[in-house]
Structure 1
Amino acid sequence: MHQGAAYLADIVELEAELCSMNTQPRTMNGQINVSSAPESSGTSILYERYYTVYRRRQDALNLIRQLNRTIKGAQRHRGMSMGLLGGNDMFRNEFQSLHAELERRILLLQSMAQSGGNLLSERDQQNLASAWVTISRDWQEDSVIDNYELHCHLIEQSLSMLASLSRELEQPIQEAIGESSIPANEANNYPSRFKHLEVLHFTSRLLPAVVEQIGRIRALGTYSAAAGYLDAHHDSKLRYVIQCTRVNNEKLRHQIKRLEGILDGDIGLLSQLKSYELKLMFLLNMVETDILHEGAVNADSNRIYNLATDIIDVYLVIVDNGIDLINQWHDADMDQWLVSGIAPT
């Protein structure tokens, strides 16, 4: 009887020991590791701070993408409306579809801005909406120069917002949350600061500015060719924007060479800009020869619009590729931060 009771007591004690052991963290060799459980005290605050900054930057990247598409739509809207006002009715069907699309893009951009904190101020959002309402309301009754200037105003506002959003991405996240940068001996594991800033400047400022200048040439050239004449006011504007495009294209060429040296093919279409530079020079020469001269204008407005659009679209694909690359680096920075063994604070 005593032996049976002792046996049962041993069984109960063993089961209790097994249950206790199963609730303890273990190492690979089965030994209990009491220090392996994650702490949930002050350490989690660091990760919450990191993710807050990470998410804000992700919201900025999403806004940049949508803003680029809105700018592209507004630039096309300007070019087609100028062609229509000049008398080329072949743009009408495509223009009507574009008009509805641009309306939706601006509404989506406002919704994204409202849900993304204060990345775009209320004033910026209101200015953008007001500029679009002014453009879209009875645009057929506007003078050609008013239509042109109103579009340029909306696009200039959008480019300013683009530059503002890009500044959100300049500072490393580690610095934004009060940590020192990753040591220099780990620089090969993530994009260098220099490379990041070069690509950010190229895709959010330099290339969009050149695209806008080409867009203005497209609008003024398309209108003049459709109308069959060029008055003094439009003549001066067209000459000025062509001159600015030539100057900024030189800056663009030097920047492309720099990026080719540091990116190692990360933006695949970058090398194709050389061939599209030849197309751009052809466009500028054609506009100067066929439009900027005394007498009647006999240029083909569709040809001018389509050639300029072909160049712009390739440039904007490169802008998208650059933003995608920055997004990849953004994720890689988070991975590097996690594997670098940041000490909890």
Structure 2
Amino acid sequence: MNDQSIALLFEKHKLRQAGLDIALELLELTELIQQHRGYTLAVLGGNNFFESRVVFKSREIDRHLQSIKVKLPVYSHAQADHPSSLREKQIKALTNEWLTISQHWRKDSAFECFLLHSHFINQVLKLIWDVAEVTGHLDVSVQHNQLVLLGLRKIPELIENIAQSRGLGVHIVSTPVRDDRILSRLDYLSQSIVDAHIQIVEELKGLNHDLSGELKNKLLSEQCYDQLLDYTKRLMALPGNQQHNPKTADLLFAQATRIITLQYEIARKTIRSLNYSMEPAMQSWVGFG
């Protein structure tokens, strides 16, 4: 392998690492918006216990969006004509969408607020996948692709379903008003969360990677699996057993957040492990082939 080929491989590796850095930043933004959605849905249900959290979280999101803008120059290496390239206009669009949410959520119905937040989050999740594509994470190896799919798509999608249920559940226990759209969505989420969790575990079983066993054990641990089952049972009981007080909403939010935090830990560990993946040619050159 000549020097030019080696230099190109290292450039690709550095670009992939830069992509992971921005993906982690975007994942953190997702987590912040999910929390804001839950707080605002509680407030719209008449629960002022969450009011101060909304203000604090809004400021945190503002700062984080600015931080992401600062990191955009790492994409100067990416193909300028790539349709999925992370561009300043994409972040500007997200910033504008966030401004709309943060300034107008009190004027929306709870379900509209839920939809606006969820649309924003879906855009960020798509952007995370775009980052993986444009920085070459789908061009390394089959094993690398499997980890990319888990860490950058499937686990974040599972987390978003849990976070959606958290926001809707907190709203339900905060208001005496019945909204069939919210109840229908919560019923769907309650039934699908555990199934999606099990599917991820099954995929890990077929993954030949040192990390796969550790992740599978975490996902199947009592801390994770049993808590998830208990939480979904509680969700399914909410429509017929509403308790309209701040403490009930706070307890439900905390229960869901413990599960979400563990899932984020697993996603971040999976993403960081991708830093050590190398193309077969580079593995051979450094002596691991």
- Residues 115 and 264 of structure 1: CA distance in aligned 2, closer, same or farther (over 3 Å): closer
For residues 277-298 of structure 1, the C-alpha deviation after alignment (integer angstroms, 9 at most, x for no partner) is 2211111111111x223xx722
Task: Tell me the secondary structure at the aligned position of residue 120 of structure 1.
Answer: coil
Match of 1:280 in 2: 228
Identity of aligned residues (%): 22
Residue 138 of structure 2 corresponds to residue 170 of structure 1: yes
Give 1:334 shift: 8.7
Structure with more helix by fraction: 2
User: Which residue of 282, 297, 303 corresponds with 2:242?
Assistant: 297
Match of 2:47 in 1: 88
For residues 131-166 of structure 1, the C-alpha deviation after alignment (integer angstroms, 9 at most, x for no partner) is 211111132232212211111011000111112222
User: Which residue of 125, 138, 144 corresponds with 1:159?
Assistant: 125
- Could you tell me which amino acid in structure 1 is paired with residue 34 of structure 2? Q
List gaps (5 residues or longer) in structure 1.
1-41, 173-192
Structure 1 segments of 4+ aligned residues over 6 angstroms from their partners: 332-335
- Residues 49 and 158 of structure 1: CA distance in aligned 2, closer, same or farther (over 3 Å): same
Q: How does the TM-score come out when normalised to structure 2?
A: 0.85
Q: Is the 8 A contact 1:74 1:151 kept in 2?
A: yes
Name the structure, 1 or 2, with higher relative contact order (CA <8 Å, separation 6+).
2
- Residues 224 and 112 of structure 1: CA distance in aligned 2, closer, same or farther (over 3 Å): same
Q: Which whole-Å CA distance do the structure 2 matches of 1:269 and 1:325 have between them?
A: 11
Q: Is the 8 A contact 2:30 2:121 kept in 1?
A: yes
Give 1:333 shift: 7.0
Q: Is the 8 A contact 1:211 1:312 kept in 2?
A: yes
Match of 1:141 in 2: 107
Q: Is the 8 A contact 1:85 1:223 kept in 2?
A: yes
Matches within 5 A, 1:166-245: 166-167=132-133, 168-172=136-140, 193-245=141-193
Residue 272 of structure 2 corresponds to residue 324 of structure 1: yes
Give 1:44 shift: 4.6
Q: Which whole-Å CA distance do the structure 2 matches of 1:71 and 1:45 have between them?
A: 39
Task: Tell me the secondary structure at the aligned position of residue 178 of structure 2.
Answer: coil
Q: Which whole-Å CA distance do the structure 2 matches of 1:56 and 1:267 have between them?
A: 28
Give 1:253 shift: 2.9
Q: Which has the larger radius of gyration?
A: 1
- Could you tell me which amino acid in structure 2 is paired with residue 155 of structure 1? I
Give 1:228 shift: 3.3
Q: Is the 8 A contact 2:204 2:212 kept in 1?
A: no
Task: Tell me the secondary structure at the aligned position of residue 227 of structure 1.
Answer: coil
Q: Which whole-Å CA distance do the structure 1 matches of 2:214 and 2:271 have between them?
A: 13
Q: Is the 8 A contact 1:211 1:315 kept in 2?
A: yes
Residue 253 of structure 2 corresponds to residue 315 of structure 1: no
List gaps (5 residues or longer) in structure 2.
79-84
Give 1:265 shift: 4.9
Match of 2:92 in 1: 126
- Could you tell me which amino acid in structure 2 is paired with residue 59 of structure 1? A
Q: How does the TM-score come out when normalised to structure 1?
A: 0.72
Give 1:319 shift: 0.6
- Could you tell me which amino acid in structure 1 is paired with residue 236 of structure 2? E
Match of 1:336 in 2: 283
Match of 1:150 in 2: 116
Match of 2:82 in 1: none
Q: Is the 8 A contact 2:129 2:152 kept in 1?
A: yes
